[in-house]
Amino acid sequence: MVGRAPDASGRDLASELAIARIKLRRQRLVNLVLLGLAISIPFHIAIIIYLSSLYMDRPVAVVQVSPPIEMSIVPEEQLEEFLEQVEVPDPLDPMLSADAPGEDTLDPLDVEAPTSTDTSLQASGALSAGGADSSDGGGGMLGSGTGGTSFFGIGGRGRRFAYIVDRSSSMQQVRKLEVVKDELRRSIRALPDFASFLIYFYANDYVTPEFQDDWIRARPREISRVRRWIDGQVPGGSTQPMSSFMSVLSMEPRPDVIFFLTDGIIPEDTAAKIRQYNSTGRVIPINTIAFGSPAGQEQLKQIAADSGGVYRFVPVGGATR
């Protein structure tokens, strides 16, 4: 019994030493991990601070973001107006245009129920016919960048268009003025946006848009303003167009095309006076329209012939023939 005691004691000691070594290794491992963290964390913090200082010293880049595109469903009327502004019809299609100044007559127009978006004028096939180029009959060279439109089927090309439109008392018969206003709105919408125009409604004297100090560019915003002004015109007074012509022919620069419409007899010396004023510079083609009544057609034909323009008679259903 006495001889076995040292063996048991030795085993216990060896076991304790082994356990102590394991604990020591674990403690060293923990110390190494803590030491690594103690070194790594400040090091990475220092790197982050350094990099942040670099970016903070640089100017902030401004990124331009395109505005969002909004989409909506628009009424058919607004869509038609937009398409007319984008796609400008050429009224001088070779199949439709007139080869020389002359005269023409349209089929009678039904004006019982005209509307602002779909009038009988647009429905009439004859109204899609083109007219003479504004360079015909002494119009001169217009150069590049000219556009076209038409008014009651008479076409014209150029950069500046003037409309002289009758609003006398007789225009209230069978709603003639409403039909003319619809066609006028359509005509200016057909102009390319680089073109310009003037509008004169005449009776005893003429009226123009209050913002018409000079040629009006055919941009959508301006056309919308003019259309609202056209809506407010009412018939009244006699048929005295001469003051309108004096104003138009005194413009600088002068128009390339003039559209002149009346539904009655104009003063007998009108054609001679217009010829005199028109001959003071480049002769401007004047396209004349007898609307609803051919009573004043002889003077209208003379005005067109003198200027190299086109005369046209537009019958109106129910109007005096």
Residue with tokens 């937009």: 82
Q: Which whole-number Å values give the CA distances from 167 to 74, 170, 238, 308, in the listed order?
A: 33, 8, 8, 25
Which amino acid appears at position 51 of this protein?
Answer: L
| Residue 273, φ and ψ in degrees, nearest 5 | -65, -40
- Omega of the bond leading into 94 within 30 degrees of 0 (cis): no
In order, the DSSP letters of 228-245 are HHHHT----S----HHHH
Ranges under pLDDT 50 in the chain: 1-2, 60, 62-63, 65, 69, 71, 83, 86-101, 111-144, 318-321
| pLDDT on residue 120 | 35
What confidence score (pLDDT) does residue 108 get?
55
- pLDDT of 130 reads 35
Q: Cα-atom radius of gyration of the chain, to the nearest Å?
A: 43
Residue 246's pLDDT is: 97
pLDDT of residue 75: 57
